[in-house]
Structure 1
Amino acid sequence: MTAKGLDHDGFIVREGSLSLVADEFAPVVDAARGRISEAFDRTRLHSAYLYGSVPRGTAVPGRSDLDLLLALRGGPSAADRADAAALETALDAGFAQINGVGVLLVGTDTLLSELERYDLGWMLACLCTPLLGEDLGEQLPRYRPSSLLARETNGDLGAALVRWRGLAAAATTDGQRRKLNRAVARRIVRTGFTLVMPRWSGWTSDLMESAEVFGGYYPEWAARMRLAAGIAVAPTADLAGLGLLLDELAPWLAAEYTAVHGEKTPRPASGSG
């Protein structure tokens, strides 16, 4: 690998590996593998993947969450979603090392589709570590840190803002507020980074580094982006900081993103699952 997460030809290097999983998280990964195999038989599950800080080897015990992507042979059903929710609950309750579990369910046809080539397909090929089954990443292309990739990954921030404000108003428990803080702040930081990614000519998933890279191009917004990164890394139940981001940084970021990269290609109303 060369600098900035690229190989010598300028393509994004797939991040993460089972060999990078820290010893503290190895039992969690083993349990995830076993529970996935028990809950989803081979008629439903094509393959399973880890992504996020655990396979990157940067997870912090007691603070980091566990992220899983399950590639299903068909579109996710109600039974699939129920089994995924039970999997999340069991893993989260069973291991103090993790603070939350997220299971993303996507059909293989969607992951390999032209529509998702530069969003979910890119995510699988570059950000996901194979855990079970045949790796779909081998069927996807290599990716450069381009404006097309920026547009298709985060070119829909404006639509997300409306949803986030509704969720913030509806959040009634500390757990809900903490989860919302983390999810929204992460998305804002990643959108800020991908806004400047083609100019920076590289890739990183590190949230603090992402905020600093962004701040180098938009110094007037650097402090707000650092605030977002801080919330993303160590979320609390206090929504005051999130309110500042939703009122100030995020609306500007959505408009600037559209001006620079354009809007993300619309998806069907049913979504990818």
Structure 2
Amino acid sequence: MNAILKTGDLLTTDSQGFIINPCSFEKISPPWTEIIADLKTAYREIFGKKLHSIYLRGSVPRGKAISRVSDLDSLAVISGNLEKSELTKIQLACRKIKHQYPFCKNVDFLCVSYREIIESESILKMLIKTQSLCICGEDITLVFPNYKPGIEMVSHAFELAEDLKILQDELQCLGNNNIFYSKFIKDRCAWIMKRIVRTGLELVMLREQVYTRDLYPSYLLFSKHYPNQQRYMRKALELAINPSDNLAGLLIFLREFGSWLVEEIDIVFADYKC
């Protein structure tokens, strides 16, 4: 079982209050350099001339990666749309890379079209600008606006109600005769709990005027403003790090604490939600 590490940082801001991107090549060190090189090669082989640029997110480009704990999070911007055959190839490539480098907990990828990023108001714009490092191609963040901690940086709260509903429906329909039953529940548990903890930060971000995606400081700041809910957010933090396959217990937690979060989101963001 992984211990809860009291690590993580708030993103710093400049003299005008804009977020300073903490990622840089200088912060990446072995053995992460080798796995990044293989991931870059895989993207190039799969997408060829369609590949516009590649970005790393998360702890690795910030120099905060922890062996056997941290994921390698990547995003590829491509010309045109993602084909089904390309999706299959990148999925297989990421699984192969993860197997080759056991110190990396998971190799995550996301592929989006250049047009979608440039022309839409996608939250990915903010994530790429403030928390990503371009490792290949033309850096599109140079034309993106700067961001301050505020409503434009809310990436989970407005979708949490739908995320909870879809996941609960999915889990309730899950048959326990599936050989991947335990792994599937644990994977989904970790995914939703990370979203819950980060939503906790978003609930207090406007009041604190700070931002982070790191789980532990998100939990601390939420608990500062919601002491009566601290034990529930602590449980979410624990499950994000050590996910459980206790389906019944997970559904109860999501129904009870999840419902409270959704109600609080409606209150805090009443002036912003459509």
Instruction: Report the TM-score when normalising by structure 2.
Output: 0.86
What is the CA–CA distance in structure 2 between the aligned matches of 1:153 and 1:238, rounded to whole Å? Answer: 24
Equivalent AA in structure 1 for residue 33 of structure 2: A
Question: Once superposed, what is the RMSD of the aligned Cα atoms?
Answer: 2.3
Query: 2:22 is matched with which residue?
Result: 15
**Contact preservation (8 Å) 2:156, 2:198:** no
**Contact preservation (8 Å) 1:51, 1:128:** yes
Q: CA deviation at 1:208?
A: 0.7
Alignment of structure 1 residues 92-131 onto 2, 5 Å = 92-116=98-122, 119-131=123-135
SS in 2 for 1:96: coil
Give the unaligned 5+ runs of structure 2. Answer: 1-9
What is the CA–CA distance in structure 2 between the aligned matches of 1:244 and 1:227, rounded to whole Å? Answer: 13
Query: 1:154 is matched with which residue?
Result: 157
| Pair 1:35 & 2:42 matched | yes
Query: 1:56 is matched with which residue?
Result: 62
Q: CA deviation at 1:241?
A: 5.7
Query: 1:198 is matched with which residue?
Result: 206
What is the CA–CA distance in structure 2 between the aligned matches of 1:82 and 1:240, rounded to whole Å? Answer: 33
Seq. identity, %: 27
What is the CA–CA distance in structure 1 between the aligned matches of 2:249 and 2:19, rounded to whole Å? Answer: 32
Q: CA deviation at 1:148?
A: 4.0
What is the CA–CA distance in structure 2 between the aligned matches of 1:240 and 1:11, rounded to whole Å? Answer: 43
| Partner of residue 185 from structure 1, selected from 187, 193, 201 | 193
SS in 2 for 1:175: helix
C-alpha distance after superposition, 1:14-52 (max 9, x if no partner): 13223222423222112111222222202x111111111
Query: 1:90 is matched with which residue?
Result: 96
Query: 1:218 is matched with which residue?
Result: 226
Q: How many residues align?
A: 261
SS in 2 for 1:11: coil
CA 1:63–1:237 in 2, change beyond 3 Å: closer, same or farther? farther
Equivalent AA in structure 2 for residue 29 of structure 1: I
| Partner of residue 75 from structure 1, selected from 71, 75, 81 | 81
Give the unaligned 5+ runs of structure 1. Answer: 267-273
> Could you say which structure has the larger radius of gyration?
2
Q: CA deviation at 1:243?
A: 3.1
| Partner of residue 136 from structure 1, selected from 135, 140, 148 | 140
Instruction: Report the TM-score when normalising by structure 1.
Output: 0.87
**Contact preservation (8 Å) 2:11, 2:20:** no
Q: CA deviation at 1:205?
A: 2.1
What is the CA–CA distance in structure 2 between the aligned matches of 1:251 and 1:93, rounded to whole Å? Answer: 38
Equivalent AA in structure 2 for residue 92 of structure 1: K
What is the CA–CA distance in structure 1 between the aligned matches of 2:45 and 2:38, rounded to whole Å? Answer: 10
Equivalent AA in structure 2 for residue 194 of structure 1: E
SS in 1 for 2:76: strand
